[in-house]
Amino acid sequence: MRSYISGVGSFLPPKVVTNFDLEEMMNTSDEWIQQRTGIVQRRWVDENTSTSDLAYEASIKAIENAKIDKSEIDMIIFATLSPDHDFPGTGCFLQHKLGLGEVTVLDIRQQCSGFLYGLSIADKFIRSGEHKHILLVGAEVHSKGLDKTPRGRDVGVLFGDGAGAVIVSSTAITDTETQAHILNTALYADGAHAKELWLPAPSNAMGAERMSQKMLDEGLHYPQMNGRNVFIHATKKMSECLAGVVTKSGYQLKDIDIFLFHQANMRINMKVAELLGIDESKVFNTIQDFGNTTAATIPIGMDCAIKKGVLKKGMLVGSAAFGAGFTWAASVWRY
Ligand code: ACO
């Protein structure tokens, strides 16, 4: 018994925010953003839309694409760093919105690596034989949590809102060369760098109050990042773990048909391609259109690649991600 991705869906809120729009708010420029990151535009939600709302739309599409009835889903894994509320996890809100009944819900907090961590968990639950169809969602509403003034421009220009979902289903494999299945996933973390990319507040580790006026005045409720350090670690760790998981799967990098990397920065992805000697044309990027949607980037990329006819059934996919924690992960699957 193995697992495979039987359905894919994504949802991006309709409001487009261009780099020129950000110029009006953040003392930045289209040229700076495009040169440093490759981002041209991103999507932002309206005030009435939450992370679970985006996840709902993506999930419905993934369920339709898998050609299953939603009652067949026996577990939800929800990856996000921008939950509807601190608790309970956003997966419970999604379960209720989808009307799924009392199925297992697991929220995971691995940020940009969240989708691949979730894929690994889903794969293991399916292989155990206890679950048949797992809904794995990555969804983020970043726009409500960014400092949209010049003070926050270093981080504020990078992120966008969106959701991607897949259905991970069980399958009996007789031919690994043609049949869709997940071959391997590899997951890593190094908490020594936890404060290199983080959201300091609200916090139980910074005094008597979880949230104080001082924290607000200092902007500690906005994400903070040491961009250079993230860049150095991301390129090294993504390439190392991707190469490792491809080898473990019995393939060489040249055998991979398409690479779906996390979309933090076009330069990170081009550097990973360069380090591994990957043909850039095999790396499918969406960052130019959607910015960094954290846990949602890989399923959104997968959905876009399928719709553009770039990712076809039977292809071998190599995926890698790096994010806050630091956490990083890689996976190989046949679609
Ligand atoms: N617009 C204009 N100028 C800016 C902006 C902005 N949005 N942000 C910073 N600057 C200025 C800085 O103030 C600085 O000015 P100075 O030289 O006068 O002091 C100058 O640009 C250079 O700043 P750096 O931070 O050194 O810029 P750098 O070249 O390192 O690029 C970037 C920043 C793009 C974030 C880069 O470090 C990077 O690619 N890091 C990778 C991290 C990343 O992409 N994270 C995404 C989220 S994490 C994840 O998903 C893995």
Q: Per residue in 170-187, pLDDT tens?
A: 999 999 889 999 999 999
How far is residue 220 CA from its own chain's centroid?
24
Contact indicator for 231, 265 with CB cutoff of 8 Å: yes
In tens, the pLDDT along 182-218 reads: 999 999 999 999 999 999 999 999 999 999 999 999 9
* Domain membership flag for residue 92: yes
Q: Which of 171, 197, 224 is the last residue of a domain?
A: 171
Dmax (CA) of the chain: 61
pLDDT at res. 158: 97
Residue 69 belongs to some domain of the structure: yes
Could you identify the atom of ligand 1 that is nearest to the CA of residue 111?
A: 50
* Residues β-bridged to residue 188: 328
112 within a domain of the structure (yes/no): yes
Query: Same domain, yes or no, for 136 and 188?
Result: no
Measured from the CB, is residue 22 less than 6 Å from ligand 1?
A: no
Taking residues 112-141, what's their average pLDDT?
A: 98
Q: Are residues 89 and 227 in the same domain?
A: no
pLDDT score of 63: 98
Q: How many domains does the chain fold into?
A: 2
| Residue ending a domain, choose from 171, 197, 215 | 171
Q: Is a pLDDT exceeding 90 seen at residue 162?
A: yes
> For residue 306, is it within any domain?
yes
**219 in the same domain as 327:** yes
221 catalytic residue (yes or no)? no
User: Is residue 48 very low, low, confident or very high in pLDDT (cuts 50, 70, 90)?
Assistant: very high
Residue 40 sits in the same domain as residue 83: yes
Confidence of residue 22 (pLDDT cuts 50, 70, 90): very high
On whether residue 312 sits in a domain, the answer given is: yes
Residues 62 and 193 in one domain: no
Q: Do residues 250 and 231 both lie within one domain?
A: yes
Q: Of the listed 133, 142, 181, 262, which one is catalytic? A: 262
| Cα-based distances in Å from 290 to 16, 76, 296, 300, 306 | 9, 25, 10, 9, 17
Q: Whose CA is nearest to atom 38 of ligand 1?
A: 227
**Mean pLDDT, residues 207-233 taken together:** 96
Q: What is the pLDDT of residues 78-108, one digit of tens each?
A: 999 999 999 999 999 999 999 999 999 999 9
100 contact partners, CB below 8 Å, separation of at least 6: 70, 71, 73, 76
Same domain for 158 and 303, yes or no, is no
Nearest CA to ligand 1 atom 20: 154
Q: Which residue owns the Cα nearest ligand 1 atom 9? A: 154
* Average pLDDT over every residue of 257-265: 98
- Cα–Cα distance for residue pair 263/253, rounded to 1 Å: 20
Q: Are strands 16-18 and 41-43 parallel, antiparallel or unpaired?
A: antiparallel
Which domain, by its residues, includes 218?
Answer: 181-334
Q: What pTM was computed for the model? A: 0.97
Query: Which residue, judged by its Cα, is nearest atom 25 of ligand 1?
Result: 227
Q: Whose CA is nearest to atom 22 of ligand 1?
A: 154
Give the per-residue pLDDT at 176: 87
To the query of whether residue 229 is one of the catalytic residues in this protein, the response is no
Q: What integer pLDDT is reported at residue 164 of this predicted model?
A: 98
My answer on whether 66 and 209 are in the same domain is no
Q: Pseudo-torsion of CA 262, 266, 271, 273, nearest 10°?
A: 60
The confidence score (pLDDT) of residue 248 equals: 97
Q: How confident is the model at residue 1 (pLDDT cuts 50, 70, 90)?
A: confident
323 lines ligand 1 (CB under 6 A): yes
Ligand 1: residue of 39, 151, 230, 239 to mutate (most ligand atoms within 8 A of CB) is 230
Residue 281: Cβ within 10 Å count = 9
Cβ–ligand 1 contact at 322 (below 6 Å): yes
Q: Where are the alpha helices (DSSP H) in the chain?
A: 19-26, 30-37, 51-66, 90-98, 114-127, 153-156, 213-217, 227-248, 266-276, 287-290, 297-307
150 and 235 together in one domain: no
Contact 158, 292 (CB under 8 A): yes
| Residue 101 in domain | yes
Task: Determine contact, residues 12/162, Cβ cutoff 8 Å.
Answer: yes
Q: Do residues 17 and 143 share a domain?
A: yes
Same-domain status, 32 and 85:
yes
User: What is the CATH number for 298?
Assistant: 3.40.47.10
The stretch 32-59 carries a mean pLDDT of: 98
pLDDT, tens digit, 9 for 90 and up, residues 54-70: 999 999 999 999 999 99
Question: Do 199 and 148 lie in a common domain?
Answer: no
Cα 332 to ligand 1 centroid, rounded to whole Å: 31
Is 231 close to ligand 1, i.e. is its CB under 6 Å away?
yes
Name residue 241's amino acid: C
Q: Assess if residue 176 is contained within a domain.
A: no
In a domain, 238, yes or no: yes
Active site residue 131: no
Q: Which of 147, 171, 195 is the last residue of a domain?
A: 171
